[in-house]
Structures are given as C-alpha cells and as structure tokens.
Chain A
Amino acid sequence: MSLADDVHLLRRSVGLSRPRAAVVRVTGDGAVPALDRLLPCDVWLRDGQVKPTVLLASDGTVEADVLLACDGDDWLLSADGIDPDALIALLGDADVEDLSATHAQLAIDGPFAWALLGAWDEAGAIGLPYLTFYQQDDVRVTRAGRTGEFGYHLLVPTARADALGTELLALGERFGARWVSPAALAYCALENGFLDLPSLGGARLDPRELQLQWRIVRGKHCRGADGLAARASSRRTTAFRSVTEVAVGSRVACEGRDIGEVLVVAPDVGGPGFLGLLLLDRDFAVAGIDAFTVGGMPICTVSIPMVRNRSLYVRPQRHTWADEAALPLPYPR
C-alpha cells in the first residue's frame, strides 16, 4: 500500500501500528523527585491521568517526546526519541523497571479507532477520556495518539503481542483496518502539528521554537532548564502550503529579505501541492500570509491543523460504523 493509501485509511477509518517508544515504570519514594528533576512539566497527576511533555537536552532543545502517566503510587514514562537505557540512566536513584524489554506496543488510530477497540473491549473503551488509561487484564490501554484522530496505545506483554495484533486485525476487518506505515503516521502528525522528531531531520529546536510551550512550565528547574533559559529562541515553526515543490533547507524570503528556512516538506496527500513546516524569524512566524517565497515561488503560511479531522465530527455515543458514509471526509474519496 502507498503512503497515500495509509493516510487515507487513518483519516477515514482505522489503522494499526507498532510504536517503539522507551517505556519504563518508576516506583518508590524516589520516583517523584527523580521525575520532577528530569521533566519540565509539573509532576502532579491524578491516578489514571496522562500528561504529554518533553525531555530536554542539556542545551534546552527537545530530545524526546514524552508521556507521563500516574498509576497509583507508580509512574509510567513513555519516551520517543531516546533509548530505554539512556532514559533509565537519567532517572538516577529511582527504582526503574524497563517495560520496553518485556512488553510490546500496539497503536490503533483513526476516526473509528474507538469502534475497533470497543469490539475488543466494549466496557473499557467507550467513553475513555483523552489522556487517560485503564488496565484490561495484562494490557494497558492509553487514549493518546499523534494523528489528530481517535487514538489508543496498547502496552502488551511481548508473548501476547502477536496474537493480540492478529485479533485486532480480524476485529477490524469490517472497518477496513490494516497495518499502516510509520511514514503515514508521521505525515498525519505533520498535518496535525504533533511532534515527530525524526521528521525534523536532526534540527535541534527548543519548546518555544516548536510551539510546545504548553508542554513545559516556564522557569521550572529541571534538566535542560539552564540551557533553555540561555537560548534566544528567536525563531518559530509555522506550517505552510505551496503549489510548487520546495526542498528542505531552502531559504524563505519576504520581499527579498531572508526570514527563515523550510524545515519539513511532504507532498499533499489531500490534493495537488505540498505542505510542511517552516522555521521563521519570530517577527514573521504568522499564519495566513501568502506573500513569502521560496526560490522565487510563492508559498502560503497556514494554521495547524492542516486538515479537518473526521474525528471532530464522529460521536461514539451517537454514531456507529453504519454512519460512516454520511460523515465528512478531510480529503476527496
């Protein structure tokens, strides 16, 4: 299947994938102090609550995309962009168990992801609030995702993962569910403004530059805080669309003045043209401007999300798969 096929599936129905984040359980009296020293967010969550944050490198740039979950007296830390061993080393003296070594991860994303999950576990899935989790036997189900659609992340004992994947695929047959590629998930993250570090091509950017200030507490003392405070952060990412193809690294101009560069670009799955992210001087980092140029060709800065997610219009309490054809689609069929 092509990238476009996978993206259409994620935007129309439901796709399955196998994430590979580092996942650790942090326990004991040292857990909260260790997490508080490490993370730039407040470490105060209700039992069952999940909070998106980031891991900062010593220079204040974003090193990993993180989800922190409170499970009674324990904490689960899921980090995309860092190895489990490196993550464990950062937690110092806290009691840490590497769940990546004993568990596999499955993800279900799409406007009807809740329907597929409900077919597997009706009682638990329906009505699960965003950024919360529950335990179904030995499977942890977290409602979170990076596509802008309904999304669920399953943490499964490794020995059971293949069978569960096969079971979900069978249950999802009537929704057209199948495995989708990491590239399709990265594309959906781009359209919806979710952090996808590999897409940034090694660019080291801080939360202010990435429009992720909501994931940190300004001025909190933690790993990377001093580096962040020392950074000028004079630039900011801004989404764009263009009719003509542009290359990553190309300079962006405003009336002949260099104002930034193209950071990420991809062919638009929803139609002709291209879309992506620019890294612009803050004075110019605004949406709704169609007079900037790249290589002399006009581009248009736009708001995120760059797609009308079907999930905005799906109501699990009212809709079923039988309503699918009547619900709006973000791209032409």
Chain B
Amino acid sequence: MVGCAVPEPTPSPVHAAVARRAALVRELAEILVHTLRLRIAPDEIDPDAPLFGAGLQLDSIDSVEIVVAIEEAFRITLVDRQDGDPAVLRTLNTLADRLDETRR
C-alpha cells in the first residue's frame, strides 16, 4: 500500500530501562553544566566521575545549587536537610540512583 509508515518496534523492557537510565544521567549532566556554568559539554562528565574532591572539584556552595536545581527540575526532595546522606551527591550515577528510588 502506498504511503503507509512502518511503525517503530516497541523497545523491550530492558532496552527501555537502559534508554531511561541513560536519558536521566544525561539530563542530570545538563543540569550541572547549566546551573554551575561549567565550561565543558555534558557528555564530558562521566557517570561515575567524582563531583567533589577530585573529578569536577565542585564545592559545598555548588552542592547547594545542584540540589536546588535538581529538586526543582524533578519536583522531589533529593536530600534530607537534617540527615542528608553525603553518598547521594558523589557522582551523576549516585544522583540517578536516588532519583530512581524516589520515583519507585
């Protein structure tokens, strides 16, 4: 038949999960670059690169900005202000883990 578009195959649950996680990490990288006005492209931030100390060498002021930006973007509480776990902010992947937890 003329003019019929072939529908895209539906991705399997695994492929969908991989794509979802990759998109989440990419979005977090974009938030970091935009919020902190970093002079690198989002894809230059490896998912397991340390954000503080070595790695991107962000500081405590940056951490506040990041938390606020992510909480606003995803409409969640990322870090408990009283008992915030420092492990959450270690890398893009640990941030993504926390977001996945809050959305389950």
Residues of A near any B CB (own CB < 8 A): 52, 130-131, 193, 208, 211-214, 218, 236, 239, 254-255, 283-284, 286-289, 291-292, 303-305, 308, 312-313
Contacts and interface: CB of A to CB of B under 8 A. Distances in A.
What 7 A-B pairs have minimum CB-CB distances, sorted nearest first? Answer: A303-B93, A211-B46, A304-B48, A291-B14, A286-B21, A214-B55, A214-B49
B48 A303 contact: yes
A214 B18 contact: no
Contacts, number: 78
B71 interface: no
Contacts of A305: 90
Interface string B88-99: 001101101100
Nearest to A309: B87
Contact of B14 (A211, A214, A236, A289): A289
Given A286-B47, A304-B93, A313-B86, 16 more contacts: A52-B54, A130-B53, A211-B49, A214-B45, A214-B46, A218-B40, A218-B44, A236-B46, A255-B14, A255-B15, A284-B18, A286-B22, A287-B21, A289-B14, A292-B14, A304-B48
Nearest to B21: A286
Contacts of B87: 308, 312
B12 interface: yes
Contacts of B25: 286
B85 to A, nearest CB: 8
A254 B14 contact: yes
Contacts of B56: 214
Contacts of B93: 287-288, 303-304
Contact of A288 (B13, B21, B86): B21
A180 B1 CA distance: 73
Interface in B46-86: 46-50, 53-56, 86
A213 B45 CA distance: 7
Among A193, A218, A312, max chain B CB count under 10 A is at: A193
Contacts of A291: 13-14, 17
A289 B21 contact: yes
Contacts of A131: 53-54
B46 A213 contact: yes
A70 to B, nearest CB: 15
Nearest to A51: B54
A213 B43 CA distance: 10
Contacts of A287: 21, 47-48, 93, 96-97
A73 to B, nearest CB: 24
